[in-house]
Structure 1
Amino acid sequence: MRNVVRFPDRTGGFVPQRLSEARVAVATSRADLARQLGITGQAIAYYEAGDRRPDMDVLLKIADILNQPVSFFLKPTKSIEGVRGARYFRSVGPKTNKVNAALEAKTKWLWELLQFIMRHVKLPTPNIPLIDERYDIDSLSFEDVEEIARCVRRHWSLGDGPIANMIALLETHGIIVSRFTMGSEKIDAFSCWIEGRPYILLGSDKSSCARSRFDAAHELGHIVLHRHITQEDVEAKSIRDRIEREANWFAGAFLLPKESILAEFYSTRTAHLIGLKKRWRVSMQAIAHRCKNLGVLDEGQYIAFRKYLAVKGELKVEPLDNELPLEMPGLLIKAWALLVQRGIIHENGAEEAIGFSLDMVQKLCGYMPEQKAEVPTLQILNKGRSPA
């Protein structure tokens, strides 16, 4: 009998989808990646289709260019389609689609990391109230949104005063929050539902605490008001404009309850507005806009206020913007630290265990050095289980 050389099973090893994800995540085209590798764009297309697999020498170069460990490209993955709802992007079109696609890829990685964490750590259960059936969810009025925001505050046992930490509040109620580099001035944040759990992704490139809190409340508005919206709806400009308007109304009403802000907004002097901003941690412009919506300021007064800020050069960077500390996500980084502390995972072996580098884990968790976060208490599942 003749000796037959048998090659390894070619269904294992390199995972084509991982290359597509890593390339899209850094907004790099096939042609650009091919140029850096010194190969053809057709070769990249073959790799991503699974028709060919890169030699290890090429894979090492790919890993270096796309800033991923080699183990990432060898880790099997499952599709997020079918378990992910609409992505509430504020801008859709040729100028932002590449950025949106990059953020979608990173959100998928965040979801994958969460699956690993949740096998070992019990996270807060999502606690998002359903909208009462008496509302027409396809045409909410300002008054409807006002009442819904009030109901969410009551559901979460909040009074009508300032919210101490918006991100900690969201995490306490089961919302996954992270910070990504958005890569576009047109995108401040976005949100979506995945497997029955809401995710809010905030920009790490926005340093204003007040504006970031409004972004978080805006995305909470989408999560509460627009659970029924499809991706096709989001891509229709008329519907997108409507849900963006409703989410802005919700953010204003949730952060600045009507009775409270009406009692406190008794002066338009700059010193008074700065004081309101310090107390409520909401931008002066958002406070003025909220009061315009409530009828306290008319259109002319609101425009005059913005012109005043423009003259002082404070439209983009207001007083206190560089002083109020940015609120940081802390739930996932605390869960990760708990896994390391209990020996369930070793940081030096993170790449082989989950396919992500430790640096990527920290980024997905929203970790930023020298920032503190307030987080809920966590507990390990299966306490008697030995370390993996």
Structure 2
Amino acid sequence: MKGKVADLGINKKIVPARVREARVSRGYSLADLSELLGVTSQAISQYELGTSTPSMAVLMKMVDTLKFPLNFFLKPKENINHNYVNSAVYFRSMKSTPKKLKDAYKYRIQWADEIHHYLKKYINFPEIDIPQFDAVNEIDFTFIEDVALNLREYWGVTKVPIDNVVELLQDKGFIICRLVFGNKKVDAFSQHYNNVPYIILGSEKSAARSRFDLAHELGHLIFHSHIDEESIVKKEILDRIEDEADYFAGAFLLPSDSFSQEVMSTSLEHFVFLKRKWKVSISAMIKRCEKLSLLTDNQIRYLNAQMTKKQYWRNEPLDDAIPFELPYLFKQAFELLIENNIVTPDEILNELSYKKEEIDSLCFLPKSLLERKQRAQKLTLINDN
């Protein structure tokens, strides 16, 4: 049985979809991986189709090259619910994001879903609580304003600043993760997957800008679940849904009926004061004032000129003072399992079959949480009697 997984003395076989998942999630083309493994692109394609199986030497090289545990390639994809139609993946800054990079990051939502699926065997997560809004033929800004205000009312945050957007959405059934993207091509992305709303945020932005990204992705999940992957790449559709999500983010974070009453000056110092209260960037507040016609065109130009003069477009006052909103649901779930001796860190890692560092990153875990715990050997005296 040369070249078969049975050489390892186990009955499981390589799951072809996992080979493709590992390759694409690392950003490799068939040609890229072919060069790294020393086999043909055709051979890798056959592994991914399941028409042939890699030799043990190739499999071990695949494990080392793609940085996945061996168990990952043997783990069936069991938690796919075919009763649900998954939405497209919405990428912030999508126009400048290479397709290879988008395809790689899309799998992070599937990994988050597998982790969620695993934890739900033991943990009760908040139920999804998103109201249904009437369908309209064309979404305009008036409709978006109404939805933002109605959603705030439904969630009990009618006119006040939202203290913690991550906490609010997690309480309503959203699964939120943070990643260090390590590039400027991706800020955040989201998807309805297996009927669960997932949002993946970057960790490179200020807390205020990250809150806006989160509200932007919320807008996509509310308004654009009907748009498929083929349509979302069309420029006119992409431009439209990005404008709608941006407008929603402003309307949701800065409600028209209460924020408008607080804009009383065109000085940047006044907007710094507002930023401390609303936890929204000055640039986003200026844009919101423009959309609501709270200031004249000349006043908007003056504020933008002042932003440029003070070099505030990238680094604003209070960027370091407003704390990041950290996802905590997965962390709490893992802590509950470990502290109550339901499962061990080793059992978690073996079941999930991802690298520990991958889980730590996606779930925003402290490095020590899933570390192996060394058990002290208990010694006893020999009884001479």
| TM-score, normalised relative to structure 1 | 0.85
Residue 14 of structure 2 corresponds to: 14
3-state SS in 2 of match to 1:200: strand
- Quote how far apart the aligned CAs of 1:81 are: 8.2
Counterpart check, 1:349 vs 2:351: no
**Does the 8 Å CA contact 1:329/1:367 hold for their aligned counterparts?**
no
CA distance in 2, matches of 1:202, 1:99: 15
CA distance in 1, matches of 2:98, 2:36: 24
Whichever residue aligns with residue 228 of structure 1, its letter is: H
**Does the 8 Å CA contact 2:94/2:186 hold for their aligned counterparts?**
no
Superposed, 1:1-388 pairs within 5 Å as 8=6, 12-78=12-78, 80=80, 82=82, 83=84, 84-90=86-92, 95-133=97-135, 136=136, 138-182=137-181, 184-204=183-203, 206-367=204-365
Whichever residue aligns with residue 283 of structure 2, its letter is: Q
Whichever residue aligns with residue 144 of structure 1, its letter is: F
CA distance in 2, matches of 1:241, 1:282: 23
**Does the 8 Å CA contact 1:71/1:355 hold for their aligned counterparts?**
yes
CA distance in 2, matches of 1:149, 1:262: 15
CA distance in 2, matches of 1:94, 1:188: 11
**Does the 8 Å CA contact 2:268/2:306 hold for their aligned counterparts?**
no
CA distance in 2, matches of 1:261, 1:93: 31
1:95/1:159 CA distance change after superposition, 3 Å:
closer
Query: Could you tell which deviates more after superposition, 144-153 or 84-93?
Result: 84-93
**Does the 8 Å CA contact 1:191/1:199 hold for their aligned counterparts?**
yes
**Does the 8 Å CA contact 1:47/1:53 hold for their aligned counterparts?**
yes
- Quote how far apart the aligned CAs of 1:368 are: 6.3
CA distance in 2, matches of 1:369, 1:322: 24
Report which structure shows greater RCO (CA 8 Å, sep ≥6).
1
- Quote how far apart the aligned CAs of 1:318 are: 1.3
Residue 382 of structure 2 corresponds to: none
Identity %: 38
Query: Could you tell which deviates more after superposition, 247-256 or 177-186?
Result: 177-186
Structure 2 residues without counterparts, runs of 5 or longer: 369-385
- Quote how far apart the aligned CAs of 1:344 are: 2.8
**Does the 8 Å CA contact 1:129/1:224 hold for their aligned counterparts?**
no
3-state SS in 2 of match to 1:121: coil
Whichever residue aligns with residue 328 of structure 1, its letter is: L
3-state SS in 2 of match to 1:233: helix
**Does the 8 Å CA contact 2:18/2:73 hold for their aligned counterparts?**
yes
**Does the 8 Å CA contact 2:79/2:117 hold for their aligned counterparts?**
no
1:65/1:302 CA distance change after superposition, 3 Å:
farther
Tell me how many residue pairs correspond in the alignment.
Answer: 361
CA distance in 2, matches of 1:304, 1:68: 53
- Quote how far apart the aligned CAs of 1:231 are: 2.8
Query: Could you tell which deviates more after superposition, 20-29 or 356-365?
Result: 356-365
**Does the 8 Å CA contact 1:69/1:357 hold for their aligned counterparts?**
yes
